[in-house]
Amino acid sequence: MMKNIIQMKKTSYIILAACALLTIVGCEKRLDILPYQSISADNALESEGDVNVTLIGAYDGTQSAAVYGGDIMVLNDLIGNNANITFTGTFAGLVDAYQTIMTANNSFAAGTWIAAYNTINRCNSVLSAIDKVTSSPAKKNSVEGQALFLRASMYFELVRLYGKTIGDGDASVNPGVPLVLNPTKGVSASDYLPRSSVKAVYDQVIADLTKAESLLPATNTIYATKWSAAAQLSRVHLMLKNYTAAGDAANRVIKGSGKSLNPDFTKLWFTFINNGGANPAEYLFSMTVTAQDGTNSLNTYFGRNVGIAGTAGRSDCKIKVAHIALYEAGDARKTHFVLSGGNNYTRKHLDRFGNVPVIRLAEMYLTRAEANFRNSTNVGATPLSDVNAIRNRVGLASLSAVTLDDITKERFLELAFEGHNLHEAKRLQKSVGANAWNSPKLILPIPQREMDVNKSLVQNSGY
């Protein structure tokens, strides 16, 4: 064989050499390539800038449609306010929620769970690297406070959607949701967590929000402020029936935030169509939607193209005439509905790119009023003057006296279709349709996919 090769033509050698060269060209190093749109998790949180953009990522998670993009609010109204809404949508998960016949496979129950924990992991990533924020203590406090606020908000929503209400059995025994407070870098047995008790989750929420309120700045453009945290804390305490703490927190917001009720109720909406995307001052926390980013799920399901440019939606949630009849004549909120194609729709969510209000100031007045009324106190103001502040703003005359029912009715009308009703019913122990306030049908199922994966979870009763 060797002999043969030697006899070959010279040119063949050249070709052979060239071939050999080509064969060697591909060296192993060429296989070490990295993705372009992603970076290694090992060096994603190395600087203050990395932490800052991860915090933005946490807001992005919070904004996902399944949580504060609006699904949480939509679920609240479909389950808890079905007496006032005719739902004609076809998303099976929402149909079942509306009819309170949810199954463990409910896609919205799964979506909210997944998105909330995804956001929590983003918050935990920020908190785990908070020491990288070294430019100023104020900056560090702000970043930490925001991450705590977002995490606490997620846990608060989770525990009240997936756990039993306070007052329904023993909160220190009732299963809440698993508490995860560190970012996930890999999966091990310790990630298969059982549900912490309802009380344990609430304790964490209160601790986080309290700390967040102390760390956060008073103003922070569209991001969470001290007042966002205090307002959320007032909600938490109201849910827990800690009326003093709820009223105090609400009072701190009203007194401290420097914000006031928008004189024109109808200007609180259409933030994109009429307001260039800016929030009215009354918003204490909201999710900003732009043409490029974010979804307003309230718009998706409550909205409709009513002929105003920029309005859109699936027209799924039609407001019953009986609901509109609940408003007194002259109430600006009574005319805040639009008749289109034979059905009424709320004007609150027509704007396709409208920001999603999470908490606004009016709620704080009503919370303070209720807390003061129940405690027979006048912290900040009398219940009567707080209720009248809300009434006067929509063109209604002042009342001369208020009852608890007046306060809760005002709250119901003011905050209608903003995603309060399920928890209001539970808190006030009012039945929803045929379901008692503590009916298992009003509690979301732990998603089947989660039950299947994690054997240490227990399912809610009825699923």
Partner 1 sequence: MLTILFSLTLLAQTSEVRGKVSDESGQPIVGASVVIKGQSTGVTSDATGVFVLPNALGKQIVVTAVGYDALQLNASNNIQITLKADSRLMSEVVVTGFGGATLKRELTGNIARVKSKEIEFLPTPTVDQALQGRAAGVFVNAQSGKLGQAVTVRVRGNSSISANSQPLYVLDGVPITSQSQSSYGGAMNPLADLNQNDIESIEVLKDASAGAIYGSRAANGVVLITTKKGKAGRTNVSLNLQTGYAEATKRLPMLNSEQYAELILEAAKYSDDKEGIPYNDPYSYTTYVKNDVMDYYSYGQWSKDPTKSYDWQDAVFQRGPYRQADLQIRGGTDRTKFFTSFQHLDQTGTIIGNNLQRSAGRINLDQKANEWLDLGVSMSLARTLNRRLPDDNAFSNPLQAIALNPMTPFADPKTGLPAGTPPGDVNIPLYYNPVLTVDYGKFTQEVYRTFGNSYLKAKLMKGLIFQTEFGMDFLSQNEEGYFRSETVRNQTSAVRGSGRNTGTFITNYNINSYFNYNYSGKKSNLSTTLGMQYQQSQAKYNSTSGTDFPSNSYTKIASAATKSGGSSSQTDFRFLSYFLRANYTLMDKYIVAASGRLDASSRFGKDSRQGFFPALSAGWIMTNEDFMSKIDFLSFLKLRASYGIVGNAEIGDFPQLGLFSGDAGYAGNAGQRPSQLGNDSLRWETTKQADFGIDFGLFNNRITGEIDYYEKKTTGLLLTVNIPATTGFTSVVKNVGKLENKGFEFVLNTQNLIGAFKWTTNINLALNKGKVTDIQGQIIQGGVSNMNRVEQGYNVGVFFTPEYAGVDPKNGDALFYKNTKLPDGKLDRTTTNKYNEAERIVVGDPNPDLIFGFTNNFSYKGFDLSVFFNGVRGNQNNIYGMGRYSSASMLYEDNNTADQLQRWQKPGDITSVPQVRLYYTNGSQASSRYIVDGSYIRLRNVTFGYNLDSKTLRKYKIEKLRVYLSGQNLLTFTKYPYWDPEVNADSFDSNIAKGNDFYTPPQPRTLLAGINISF
Q: Is 257 in the site for partner 1 (CB under 8 A)?
A: no
Q: How far is the CB of 247 from partner 1 (least distance, A)?
A: 32
Distance CA 436, CA 91 (A): 25
Give residues 412-431 in contact with partner 1 (rule: CB under 8 A).
none
Q: Is 31 in the site for partner 1 (CB under 8 A)?
A: yes
Distance CA 13, CA 165 (A): 85
Q: How far is the CB of 130 from partner 1 (least distance, A)?
A: 16
Q: Is 458 in the site for partner 1 (CB under 8 A)?
A: no
Distance CA 151, CA 156 (A): 9
Q: Is 399 in the site for partner 1 (CB under 8 A)?
A: no
Give residues 134-173 in contact with partner 1 (rule: CB under 8 A).
none
Q: Is 81 in the site for partner 1 (CB under 8 A)?
A: no
Q: How far is the CB of 84 from partner 1 (least distance, A)?
A: 13
Closest CA to 168 of 444, 431, 452, 429: 429
Distance CA 249, CA 377 (A): 14
Q: For 183-225, what is the HEC assignment? A: CCCCCCHHHCCCCCEHHHHHHHHHHHHHHHHHHCCCCCCCCCC
Query: Of 26, 263, 325, 376, which lies in the binding site for partner 1, with binding defined by CB under 8 A?
Result: 26
Query: Of 46, 47, 101, 404, which lies in the binding site for partner 1, with binding defined by CB under 8 A?
Result: 101
Q: How far is the CB of 71 from partner 1 (least distance, A)?
A: 15
Distance CA 299, CA 97 (A): 18
Question: Residue 285 is encoded by which pair of tokens?
Answer: 């926390």
Q: Is 103 in the site for partner 1 (CB under 8 A)?
A: yes
Q: Is 192 in the site for partner 1 (CB under 8 A)?
A: yes
Q: Pick between residue 170 and residue 452 the one whose CB is nearest to partner 1.
A: 452
Q: How many residues bind partner 1 (CB under 8 A)?
A: 99
Q: How far is the CB of 427 from partner 1 (least distance, A)?
A: 26
Please answer whether residues 345 and 299 qualify as being in contact, where contact means their C-beta atoms are separated by less than 8 angstroms: no
Please report, as a single letter, which amino acid is at residue 60. D
Q: How far is the CB of 364 from partner 1 (least distance, A)?
A: 24
Residue 345 has what DSSP assignment? E
Q: Is 125 in the site for partner 1 (CB under 8 A)?
A: yes
Query: Of 80, 176, 354, 447, which lies in the binding site for partner 1, with binding defined by CB under 8 A?
Result: 447
Give residues 309-368 in contact with partner 1 (rule: CB under 8 A).
309-310, 312-313, 315, 321, 340-343, 352
Query: Of 48, 122, 215, 387, which lies in the binding site for partner 1, with binding defined by CB under 8 A?
Result: 122
Question: Residue 218 is encoded by which pair of tokens?
Answer: 């008073």
Distance CA 13, CA 431 (A): 92
Coil, strand or helix: which one is 2?
Answer: helix
Query: Of 234, 288, 296, 346, which lies in the binding site for partner 1, with binding defined by CB under 8 A?
Result: 288
Bridge partners, residue 359, by sequence: 285
Please report, as a single letter, which amino acid is at residue 168. D
Q: How far is the CB of 357 from partner 1 (least distance, A)?
A: 15
Q: Pick between residue 152 and residue 250 the one whose CB is nearest to partner 1.
A: 152
Q: Is 305 in the site for partner 1 (CB under 8 A)?
A: yes
Q: Pick between residue 163 and residue 183 the one whose CB is nearest to partner 1.
A: 183
Q: Pick between residue 5 and residue 138 the one whose CB is nearest to partner 1.
A: 5
Query: Of 80, 163, 178, 354, which lies in the binding site for partner 1, with binding defined by CB under 8 A?
Result: 178
Pick the stretch among 56-64, 168-176, 241-249, 400-408 that binds partner 1 (CB under 8 A). 56-64
Q: Pick between residue 2 and residue 329 the one whose CB is nearest to partner 1.
A: 2
Distance CA 127, CA 114 (A): 20
Q: Pick between residue 202 and residue 463 the one whose CB is nearest to partner 1.
A: 463
Q: Is 404 in the site for partner 1 (CB under 8 A)?
A: no
Closest CA to 435 of 86, 198, 99, 96: 99
Query: Of 47, 172, 184, 461, which lies in the binding site for partner 1, with binding defined by CB under 8 A?
Result: 184
Long-range own/partner contacts, residues 328-333 (CB < 8 A, 24 or more apart): 328/396, 330/395, 330/396, 331/394, 331/395, 331/396, 331/413, 332/264, 332/265, 332/266, 332/393, 332/394, 332/395, 333/265, 333/394, 333/413, 333/414, 333/416
Q: For 300-344, what is the HEC assignment? A: HHHCCCCCCCCECCCCCEEECHHHHCCCCCCCCCCCCEEEECCEE
